[in-house]
């Protein structure tokens, strides 16, 4: 996918059945983008969710792509290929800090 010159950041979140937390995570990312006056997109790389995660993410304003090959790494790679931002930041959709 070609980068969109209007988008500075893609915030990429792999997702698999994250219906309970994905909306909160998207809201936090959108708040970050707003506070820092950054032009960006929230991209959910869905890895076969069966719990309505995709629809919840879309209602929150995220762009959702389906990644057929199973696994966290596959979801990340699929998301990186679909990212439109100049830079990609990877996060998670489980509403917890990593590290």
Tell me the domain boundaries of the chain.
Answer: 9-90
Mean pLDDT throughout 19-41?
94
Share of the chain above pLDDT 70, in %: 94
Instruction: Tell if the pTM clears 0.85, that is, is over it.
Output: yes
Residue 95 has pLDDT above 70, yes or no: no
Q: What are phi and psi of 23, to 5 degrees?
A: -65, -45
CATH number of 9-90: 3.40.50
Q: What are phi and psi of 39, to 5 degrees?
A: -90, 120
Residue 64 has pLDDT above 90, yes or no: yes
Alpha carbons 98 and 58: distance in angstroms, whole number: 24
Tell the burial category of 36 from Cβ atoms under 10 Å away from its Cβ (0-12, 13-18, 19+): exposed
């Amino acid at each position: 996918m070609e980068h969109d010159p209007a988008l500075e950041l893609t915030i990429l979140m792999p997702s698999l059945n994250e219906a309970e937390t994905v909306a909160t995570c998207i809201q936090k990312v959108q708040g970050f983008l707003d506070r820092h006056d950054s032009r960006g997109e929230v991209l959910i790389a869905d890895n076969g969710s069966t719990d309505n995660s995709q629809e919840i993410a879309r209602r929150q304003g995220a762009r959702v792509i389906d990644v057929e090959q199973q696994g966290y790494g596959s979801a990340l790679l699929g998301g990186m290929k679909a990212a439109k931002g100049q830079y990609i930041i990877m996060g998670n959709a489980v509403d917890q800090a990593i590290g």
